[in-house]
Amino acid sequence: MLSLKIAVSPLLFISSLAIAQVARTVFGTLPDGSVVDAYTLHSPDVELRVITFGARVVSLKTKDRKARFGDLALGYSSLDPYVNNKNTYFGATVGRYANRIAKGHLELNRKVFQTTLNNKGMNTLHGGSEGFDRRNWIAKLIPGGVEFTLVSPDGDQGFPGTLTAHVRYILHRNIVRIEYDATTDQPTVVNLTNHTYFNIAGEGNGSILGERLTLYADNYTPVDAAMVPIGEVASVAGTPYDFTRETTIAEHAAQEDTQIKRIGGFDHNWVLRGPTGTLKPAARLFDPASGRILLVQTTEPGIQFNSGQYFDATLIGKSGVAYGKFGGLALETQHYPDSPNHKNFPTTELYPGKHYHSITTWTLSAQ
């Protein structure tokens, strides 16, 4: 995979970030005695808190139209629920391969690899049973933010090659910038993303169905009963998957569609407009009640929209409120699910001497 390029010079961007304040505290201790640290990035407009366990976002606070701060990210106030609830992926960096790989089957250079099956015993999901979300990453401060590093050894969850991954969270005023980098010593596949669930009305503040979503995508990848792409790139025109114009999520979720009925909502990949490697709009989310706006931009070719239909009120969030159905939504910038098994999808292969690089930004505002 070739290095991705962006129009803005990274050096110029980073040099302007000194205004963001970063503070480190202890978030908790893992069962093996490892300490999990928290880093709080603060600007006048946004406060972002991330932890080393899973290189994950645990809170994202910003203002509404009345300048009142609220937390937009679902999650917990302590470490134990993150450790014990393995299927939520709240705020985590997921990998080595985000999303699904059908039957955990990989073929690289005529060699076949089997990755761990942790999705109903049928597929590999988000890197396997002990993916990157389950690891305690190494952290260091950088200008305006924090960098997390993880070394995934050859054979980890069945994936070939030793992969060295970096995730950087950088805050500049009202923009959260997430940078991913990776290198390998053997041919492998890599697809990293962040799995934050958002409710921009405020975490624990009811359903996201009334929030208004735009996806900058004219096509999506239909899935089978196991939620794995069938290999087709289909037009969204005339379907419930057409978010090209801002509409409420409820309006789309109520439409007749076999795939939506099967899972009770959305958990699909959209094919973004514009070239891979160029920072471009991916999604815009607007909450009429609070006035908050989240704009997602990315260098990735796709975005997975998960409407939070799997929540069943058994998880109690940091506000003390149970997360019910549609309590939050995920907007995961990514390469397509199951790309290794579909030659018509953008490649996720990474080779020695090459550099995986990806950028996603969250711009937060209110009107």
Instruction: State how far the Cα of 55 lies from the Cα of 160, in Å rounded to an integer.
Output: 22
Q: Which of 324, 255, 335 is nearest to 298 (CA)?
A: 335
Instruction: State how far the Cα of 186 lies from the Cα of 194, in Å rounded to an integer.
Output: 25
Q: Do 117 and 103 contact (CB within 8 A), yes or no? A: yes
Instruction: State how far the Cα of 240 lies from the Cα of 77, in Å rounded to an integer.
Output: 36
CA distances from 287 to 142, 206, 248, 282, 313 (A): 33, 12, 9, 17, 22
Distance of CA 166 to the CA centre of its chain: 15
Instruction: State how far the Cα of 147 lies from the Cα of 8, in Å rounded to an integer.
Output: 20
Backbone torsions φ then ψ of 79, nearest 5 degrees = -75, -40
Report residue 112 as tokens: 């076949």
Backbone torsions φ then ψ of 178, nearest 5 degrees = -115, 120
* Among 332, 335, 342, 357, the one annotated catalytic: 332
Active site residue 195: yes
How many residues in the chain?
367
Active site residue 349: no
* Among 195, 252, 335, 342, the one annotated catalytic: 195
Which residues belong to the active site?
195, 332
